[in-house]
Amino acid sequence: MLVTEGRIARVNLTTLSVTYEPSLKYSDLIGGRALGSYLVFHEVPENSHPLDPENILVFSTSPLTGTLAPCSGRLSISCKNVATGGISFSNAGGHFAPEMKYAGIDHLVILGKSPYPVYLFIHEGVVEIKSAANLWGLDAWETEDLIKQDLNNGALHVASIGQAGENLVTMACIMVDRARAAGWGGCGAVMGSKNLKAVAAHGNRMMEVENPDFFIEICKKMWKKMDGSRTIHLFRKYGLLGTSGAGGIDGSVPQSVRNMEDEVWDSKKTLKMKEIIFKENYETLRLANFSCPVNCSHFYHVKEGPFSGLKLEALKTNVYRAFGTNLDVDNRELILKMNETSNRFGINCDSLSAVIAWIIDVFERGLVNRNETEGRILRWGDGVEIMSLMKDIAFRKNGLGDLLANGVYRASKVMGRGTGRYAMHVKGAGMCEQGVRSFKGWALGIMTSTRGGGHLAGAPNTEQRKMSREEGQKFFNVSTAGDPLAYNGKGRLVAWFERYKVITDTLGLCTSTTYWIDCALLGPDDFAMLLNAATGWDFTGNDLMNLGERIYNIEKSFNTLHANFSRADDMPPYKLISIPVSEGPFKGERLESQAWNSMLDEYYKEHDWDIETGWQTDVCLYGLGLSDVAKKLEKVQRLIKVRPKHVS
């Protein structure tokens, strides 16, 4: 069967029924994030709550999934965002997405709410709804183990929620293959709200591509390209810590310290966290996602101390940042234990860190007292107390756990008394990012992200890799792309990466094989070549980038319609504007309000959006062929009209 000839399964959990339609119905959207965002925009009612049965959860793959295209195994998950009320898209590595496709289903659209806990089993082109009575209450790892045992099939792959998803924690994520998370938007809580504990898949379908000889030759060249990249060499050697963890390989990368108060961590603590120490002390195996030549994931085994026996696939840079620097924890084994715990409970580590760092921060500032922390004395780096808080949040235990489970933005609204000033969030979603004061374009991409933060929506990392003026000009038409302190040009740069990242996510590719990491790797024309060879379609790199712009606009419209976001929601939190970096090469850096606003103006102009409000214009949407989107915005007076009236 050709890679384009699979099926979409629509599962209605309220009626416990499944219908099917051909994937080709949506071939103009390709798959992945583009399909997910499109379906969420068109099918989720504007007045619905993200945890209502009306929200849909879309699991989607691409025509490249399950083939030898490099790093093509990512699973895309879309829904209405629990933290922001806007759009959510997220993706996870592992081997689940190709397995779903081998099982005969390209995309899964889940609607409604089951009357009792269930899980889905995808096999031989059908989706079976099975009771999850014995799974409810288990963590994500136990769930995966028990499903494999119940179905007597060790080869299947599972996407599941832990207790955080069941308890509707706003930062709950969906765990794939134990350690891979679709972390954003509270998609785990959406799954929990539907009484859906897991999706398991196993299949033996053969994947045929349209032009096999050409496809395999392209794949060979692309795999070879990876060998020439220094960044990929570092990933292979040290995992993701090789480039940005612990200040990076040369110690100069800004970090995220104590609720993002600073970007420089104590040097003794930083030295304890060097990538080489993790490698030499804990690494037992290098792992890769499906069809991935990068192998940035490493398996660690703790052999002594209080966490002796701990074995897990770890440690992503953001996990190190979330449980290390941002909470001031300098105990390596404890960080690995927190990594395991968050995987088991199924909680996004960034947002979890944001809310725990915030409560410690406001407690230390005297804005919250011991009565409000239920007698706890909260301190930076106190692993015992932090682990206890993590559990209370996942189980919504006690008043404090229940409050924090709502995320940093809502918790600070309830707490009041000036605590909101220290809540690190983007559009309501908790944030834990490094170098946001030091790298201006990076910061812009995080703040404007339609899903509410995260550096994998539009943030460029050209500044971190010190891209030359010539290279910036050549690839992005932005000569300042590699200048961290320049605000000028970054609006254009971020808009480019937003379109580009839509396409990366739509094709189910990992960003580690792309321009985002190294311009010697895959760009839009490479994407088009792979896609065309696999499908027989006729996309150019520009066509793909245009699709990226259309989808980004659909996501932006969803945010306007559902969450009423505007320019004010693209502004950085107080701390980033007011508290400068304390020392190091970026000493004194912060986000200057006036310069930020100029950068934002440039960004809006690049997308053809209105500078004053941040809303979309008729010129932009009609120009992209999105008249249906424009009409919806016009109905609620959120469409800015700039074109002459006689133009229809």
Contact yes or no for 64/71 (Cβ under 8 A): no
Beta carbon nearer to another protein, 207 or 591: 207
- Cα(186)–Cα(170) distance, integer angstroms: 5
Find the angle CA(233)-CA(234)-CA(239) to the nearest 5 degrees.
115
Minimum distance from CB of 505 to another protein (Å)? 20
Beta carbon nearer to another protein, 154 or 375: 154
Beta carbon nearer to another protein, 291 or 434: 291
Minimum distance from CB of 465 to another protein (Å)? 22
Query: Which residue from 46, 227, 583, 628 is in contact with another protein, where contact means CB under 8 A?
Result: 227
- Cα(78)–Cα(427) distance, integer angstroms: 17
Minimum distance from CB of 118 to another protein (Å)? 25
Number of residues that bind another protein (CB under 8 A): 40
Of 175-214, binders to another protein (CB under 8 A) are 177-179, 204-209, 212
Minimum distance from CB of 145 to another protein (Å)? 8
Minimum distance from CB of 158 to another protein (Å)? 11
Beta carbon nearer to another protein, 294 or 495: 294
Contact yes or no for 616/633 (Cβ under 8 A): yes
Beta carbon nearer to another protein, 298 or 455: 298
Beta carbon nearer to another protein, 154 or 644: 154
Minimum distance from CB of 319 to another protein (Å)? 17
Beta carbon nearer to another protein, 94 or 165: 94
If one asks whether residue 393 binds another protein (CB under 8 A), the answer comes out as no
Of 540-559, binders to another protein (CB under 8 A) are none
Query: Which residue from 6, 66, 458, 460 is in contact with another protein, where contact means CB under 8 A?
Result: 66
Task: Write the burial class of residue 489 (CB in 10 Å: 0-12 exposed, 13-18 middle, 19+ buried).
Answer: buried
Beta-carbon contacts of 228 under 8 Å, excluding residues fewer than 6 positions away, are 520
Minimum distance from CB of 205 to another protein (Å)? 8
Strand 57-60 and strand 105-111: the pairing is antiparallel
Query: Which residue from 16, 133, 216, 276 is in contact with another protein, where contact means CB under 8 A?
Result: 216
Query: Which residue from 102, 409, 422, 487 is in contact with another protein, where contact means CB under 8 A?
Result: 102
Contact yes or no for 403/391 (Cβ under 8 A): no
Q: Which stretch binds another protein (CB under 8 A): 15-23, 220-228, 342-350, 499-507?
A: 220-228
Distance of CA 452 to CAs 36, 56, 427, Å? 17, 19, 5
Of 313-372, binders to another protein (CB under 8 A) are 313
Greatest extent of the chain over all pairs of C-alpha atoms, in Å: 75
- Cα(232)–Cα(245) distance, integer angstroms: 15
- Cα(246)–Cα(310) distance, integer angstroms: 22
Minimum distance from CB of 91 to another protein (Å)? 17
Of 261-320, binders to another protein (CB under 8 A) are 284-295, 299-301, 311, 313
Residue 417, phi-psi category: left (phi > 0), alpha (psi -120 to 50), beta (remainder): left
Beta carbon nearer to another protein, 223 or 307: 223
Beta carbon nearer to another protein, 66 or 86: 66
And the tokens for 124?
């031989």
Beta carbon nearer to another protein, 26 or 102: 102
Query: Which residue from 97, 219, 362, 378 is in contact with another protein, where contact means CB under 8 A?
Result: 219
Q: Which stretch binds another protein (CB under 8 A): 218-226, 266-274, 448-456, 506-514?
A: 218-226
Residue entry with tokens 């960003």? 511
Beta-carbon contacts of 405 under 8 Å, excluding residues fewer than 6 positions away, are 164, 167, 168, 169, 170, 171, 393, 394, 396
Minimum distance from CB of 9 to another protein (Å)? 21
Query: Which residue from 37, 60, 61, 67 is in contact with another protein, where contact means CB under 8 A?
Result: 67
Minimum distance from CB of 291 to another protein (Å)? 5
Beta-carbon contacts of 318 under 8 Å, excluding residues fewer than 6 positions away, are 349, 350, 432
Minimum distance from CB of 509 to another protein (Å)? 14
Minimum distance from CB of 289 to another protein (Å)? 7
Query: Which residue from 68, 156, 249, 355 is in contact with another protein, where contact means CB under 8 A?
Result: 68
Beta carbon nearer to another protein, 311 or 474: 311
Minimum distance from CB of 217 to another protein (Å)? 11
Residue entry with tokens 């985002």? 516
- Cα(587)–Cα(595) distance, integer angstroms: 18
SS3 619: helix
Contact yes or no for 162/344 (Cβ under 8 A): yes
Beta carbon nearer to another protein, 111 or 219: 219
Find the angle CA(411)-CA(454)-CA(615) to the nearest 5 degrees.
85
Strand 7-12 and strand 311-314: the pairing is unpaired
Q: Which stretch binds another protein (CB under 8 A): 65-73, 116-124, 395-403, 492-500?
A: 65-73
Beta carbon nearer to another protein, 259 or 289: 289
Minimum distance from CB of 408 to another protein (Å)? 31
Interior/surface letters 58-70, b for 16+ CB within 10 angstroms, e for the rest:
bbbbbbbbbbbbb
- Cα(101)–Cα(66) distance, integer angstroms: 7
Closest to 639 measured CA to CA, from 556, 578, 569 = 556
Beta carbon nearer to another protein, 236 or 427: 236
Query: Which residue from 33, 107, 123, 236 is in contact with another protein, where contact means CB under 8 A?
Result: 236
**Measured in whole angstroms, how far is the alpha carbon of residue 185 from the centre of its chain?**
8
And the tokens for 325?
């620097």
Beta carbon nearer to another protein, 9 or 294: 294
Minimum distance from CB of 216 to another protein (Å)? 6
- Cα(35)–Cα(452) distance, integer angstroms: 19
Distance of CA 447 to CAs 427, 625, 647, Å? 8, 27, 34
Give the full edge-to-edge strand order of the sheet including 180-182.
126-131, 118-123, 196-201, 157-160, 174-176, 180-182
Residues at the contact surface with another protein, assessed by CB under 8 A: 66-68, 95, 102, 145, 177-179, 204-209, 212, 216, 219-220, 223, 226-227, 236, 284-295, 299-301, 311, 313
